[in-house]
Amino acid sequence: MLIIGIGGGTGSGKTTVVNQILSEFPAGEVQVISQDSYYKETSHLTFEERCKINFDHPKSIDFELLESHLKALKKGENVNQPVYSFKTHNRTGETTITEPKKVVIVEGILILSNTELRSLFDIKIFVHADSDERLMRRLKRDIAERGRDLDEVLERYQTTLKPMHQQFIEPMKAFADIIIPNNHYNTVAVNVVKSIINDQL
């Protein structure tokens, strides 16, 4: 099994890169796991308390569960991936059965920040985008898909997103095997990744 970790800041274009890779292969050949499914379970907190959690800090992620799931997949076992709701800031209680594939892509803003998780990746990719571009994408997504208002998104960006990016995400470029600029020049880097996956399949 080839495990690829794709990190980068919020709104950097990780999902776009993942989709570019997936488009080259038959359906079902590549498994994708999102870090977003592994936010910690917070049922013991009120909704107001959950709203105050810093979701851009590594402590918000259940890295132990994600690591154990990757190890189980490598052994050929199915895992029950949590389903997370951004509207309630909590897991829904439901799970999704995730099957092992020849190639597994793990994507998320903080996946390269965890040493143990990083050691499981055969290829580490960092998707880079300009900070203004990332903010615009984050605004559009959070308002359209996650029920946030403009003031809330800007407040969160200023108080948590930006400082957490500078502290925990941007420095992770140092661990990347490939850095992909998220613009029209990213074709070569994506093609390199596709070639490596083709060899594996």
Determine the Cα–Cα distance for residues 69 and 80; give it in Å rounded to an integer.
8
Over residues 124-146, the pLDDT tens digits come to 999 987 777 767 776 777 777 76
Total number of domains in the chain: 1
SS (H, E, C) the chain: CEEEEEEECCCCCHHHHHHHHHCCCCCCCEEEEEHHHHECCCCCCCHHHHHCCCCCCHHHECHHHHHHHHHHHHCCCCEEEEEEECCCCEEEEEEEEECCCCEEEEECCCCCCCHHHHCCCCEEEEEECCHHHHHHHHHHHHHHHCCCCHHHHHHHHHHHHHHHHHHHHHHHHHHCCEEEECCCCCHHHHHHHHHHHHHHC
* Cβ-contact 4, 103 below 8 angstroms: yes
* Average pLDDT for the chain: 87
Determine the Cα–Cα distance for residues 2 and 14; give it in Å rounded to an integer.
18
| Boundaries of domain holding 70 | 2-200
Residue 185: which pLDDT band, with cuts at 50, 70 and 90?
low
* Cβ-contact 127, 6 below 8 angstroms: yes
Look at residue 194 in the predicted model and tell me its pLDDT: 84
Average pLDDT for 153-158: 76
CA dihedral 40, 43, 44, 46 (to 10 degrees): 110
Indicate whether 181 pLDDT > 90.
no
Over residues 92-106, the pLDDT tens digits come to 999 999 999 989 999
Strands across the sheet containing 2-8:
30-34, 103-107, 2-8, 123-128, 178-181
pTM of the model: 0.85
Over residues 3-50, the pLDDT tens digits come to 999 999 887 788 888 888 888 888 888 999 999 999 999 999 999 899
Q: What is the CATH number of the domain that holds 100?
A: 3.40.50.300
Determine the Cα–Cα distance for residues 40 and 131; give it in Å rounded to an integer.
27
Indicate whether 77 pLDDT > 90.
yes
Residue 165: which pLDDT band, with cuts at 50, 70 and 90?
confident
